Every structure is written in C-alpha cells, then in structure tokens.
Structure 1
Amino acid sequence: MPMAADDIAEMIKTAIPDAQVEITDLAGDGDHYAAKVVSESFRGMSRVAQQRAVYAALGGRMGGVLHALQLTTAVPN
C-alpha cells in the first residue's frame, strides 16, 4: 500500500518539530518521493547525520511501505 505525501511530512515534523518539509511525488504512484527537509536542528551535523535523522523519523518504513525517497537536507540560511 502506498504512503501519502502528507503522512511522510507529518512523521518528519513530529520527529523534527522545527522542520520545513516539502514532499514531491516523483512518479505519481505513492512509492517514489523527493523530500526537502530544512531544520535548524541540523546545524553542525554532517549531511549523512541529517539524512539519518530524517530516515529515523520515518520509523523503518523505507524499503517497505515507502519504496524510494530522494532526500535533500539543509539548515536555514
């Protein structure tokens, strides 16, 4: 069963409350998304650590309910 973009955004915002999240359905199938997550909490973290924080927020759904996520993370300017 595909995962809704709103559900992905909500899970990320729950785990990273100050996050600005933009989700794009890349294939229109609910399985392939791009996410841009911007958070002050990422400041001082490596890009890998930032992405791990987002994946952790998704609670193990990557590779299962959520097939693919193209992830971009950043700190606010």
Structure 2
Amino acid sequence: MPMAADDIIAMIRDAIPDAQVEITDLAGDGDHYAAKVVSGSFRGMSRVKQHQAVYAALGGRMGGVLHALQLTTAVPN
C-alpha cells in the first residue's frame, strides 16, 4: 500500500518540529519519493546523522510501506 506525501510530511514534522519539508513523488506511484528536509536541529550533525534522524521519524516504514526515498537534508541559512 502506497504512503501519501502528506503522511510523510506529518511524520517528519512530528519528530522534527522545526523541519521545512518538501516532497516530490518521483514515479507517481506513492512508493518513490524525493524529500528535502531543512532543520536547525541538524546543526552540528553529520549528513549521515541528519539522514538517520529523518529515517527514525518515519518509524521503520522505509523499505516496507515506503519503498524509496531520495533524501536531501540541510541546515537553514
């Protein structure tokens, strides 16, 4: 069952309240998304730790309900 982009945004914002999240459905199938997540909470974190924080926010749905997520993270300017 595909996962709605709004659900992904809500889960990320629940875990990372200051996150600015942009989601793009790459294949139009609800299974392959690109996400850009910008958060001040990423400051001082390595890129790997930033990505791990986003994956943790998705509560284990990666590889199951959510098949693929092309992830870009950043700290606000």
So what's the TM-score if we normalise by structure 1? 1.00
Let me know the Cα RMSD of the aligned residues. 0.2
Q: Distance in 2 between matches of 1:9 and 1:22?
A: 8
Per the alignment, residue 58 of structure 1 pairs with 58
Structure-1 separation of matches of 2:76 and 2:63? 29
For 2:18, the equivalent position in structure 1 comes to 18
Query: Take 1:24 and 1:11, find their aligned partners in 2: how far apart are those partners?
Result: 16
Aligned residues: 77
Distance in structure 2 (CA, Å) of the matches to 1:70 and 1:30? 13
Question: What is aligned with 1:47?
Answer: 47
The aligned amino acid for 1:17 is: P
Unpaired segments of 5 or more residues in structure 2? Answer: none
The percentage of counterpart residues that share the same residue type is: 90
SS in 1 for 2:37: strand
SS for the counterpart of 2:14 is helix
| Runs of at least 5 residues in structure 1 that lack an aligned partner in the other structure | none
State the Cα distance separating 1:10 from its structure 2 match.
0.3
Question: Under a length normalisation based on structure 2, what TM-score does the superposition of the two structures give?
Answer: 1.00
Q: CA deviation at 1:20?
A: 0.1
